[in-house]
Amino acid sequence: MDYSLSEELKMIRTMVRDFASEEVAPTAALRDEEERFDRQLFETMGELGLTGILVPELYGGLGSNALTNCLVLEELARACASTGYTLFVHSGLACAAISMFGSVEQKKLFLGPMGNGQKLGAYAWSEHAQTAGASGVVLHTKALRDGDDYVLQGTKFFVSNAGEADVYVVFALTGNDSTSHESSAFIIEKGTPGFILSKKERKLGLRGSPSLSIELVDCRIPLANRLGEEGDGHRIALQSLESARSGIAALAVGLAQAAMDVSIAYAKTRKQFGKPIAQQQAIAFKLANMATQIEATRLLTYQAAWRESQCGVGAGYANLFAGDTAMTVAIEAVQIHGGYGYTKAFPVERYMRDAKMLQMVEATMDEQRRAIARLVKRT
């Protein structure tokens, strides 16, 4: 097997790395402190083509594959996990759902401005009963048919990119089965009457990526904004979530790499007994373990991305392993920094907080273990 990247992929990685180090990284700590989303960064990513990386070329995007997407997300997360996660939700969930299930008219209307960075996408799946993880399947939000419209009632929680987003993919029941098997998906634009932005979540990590609750109160939308057929919601949610999951693993790889990078730099300059602590066997072994875990995770993530490109699935193992790697490496980075690692003087405390969030978004570690266990038992 050939594990080398093509020259085109190397050029894309270099371009994103330069952008991330020059434009994203310098203000990452401040945006985390202020819990602030930077719209200008998103628009710049649009100018670079990154916001349309998974949008088909026919609708103005790059039409790239999952591996390219992973390389982009990895480099962004290396500078700022929040920025990487915002792009993941926009591109890997919202744009992907419309690309896979939208009508020609919907794709023309929404994918163009979403792909060039003029409009930001969000994905409203989670509800209160699902707060243990986004792959839960209990829905309470309802969409009632009224002529050529639907009227939505309910509340969505932990909606990533909410408030800043312009286009929302929202799931609601169109039948009586609350386990989401009789649900449908809808495209709702910001500013629609009855679409109310509510509580802002005060999060431990990924604080530069906004998360809000959304209240739907007699929210009337046209039939033309239904995504797919009525009753397709469960299938749309599962396929769009599954097709994008290698992106979460890529974010974890980038974050872990950042934690190791600053740990190496610190270990080379911090001295004990007149020598850099990097020369201590205990520290050297920590760095060796970190590097080994990251390299193994990167390979598993790239393999998952390749499998997604081939058959649309395959990221379960990578997501579980990557989340654990990011958390382990971040904790070790704090340990290497000693007392300073627990302060905001160094970025490792932010990495640790962000790593914990990456273990929980889209699906918790326990949910992924249950899914893998079911797969293993069938083989």
Give strand pairing partners of 157.
Answer: none
Catalytic: 362? yes
Count of C-beta atoms within a 10 Å radius of residue 18? 11
3 state SS of 50:
helix
Query: Taking the chain, what is the end-to-end CA distance rounded to the nearest angstrom?
Result: 25
- Residue listed under structure tokens 């239904």: 226
SS3 per-residue string spanning 129-181: HHCCCCCCCCCCCEEEEECCEEEEEEEEEEEECCCCCCEEEEEEECCCCCCCC
Q: Which of 23, 349, 362, 367 is an active site residue?
A: 362
Give strand pairing partners of 187.
Answer: 169
Strands 167-173 and 121-124: parallel
Count of C-beta atoms within a 10 Å radius of residue 339? 8
Which runs of consecutive H residues, i.e. helices, occur in 150-280? Answer: 233-244, 246-269
| Cα–Cα dist 322/68, whole Å | 18
Residues 6+ positions from 296 with CB-CB distance below 8 Å: 321, 325
| Cα–Cα dist 266/272, whole Å | 12
Residue 133, amino acid: G
Which residue, among 199, 187, 26, 15, has the nearest Cα to 98 in the 3D structure? 187
Give catalytic residues, as residue numbers. 362
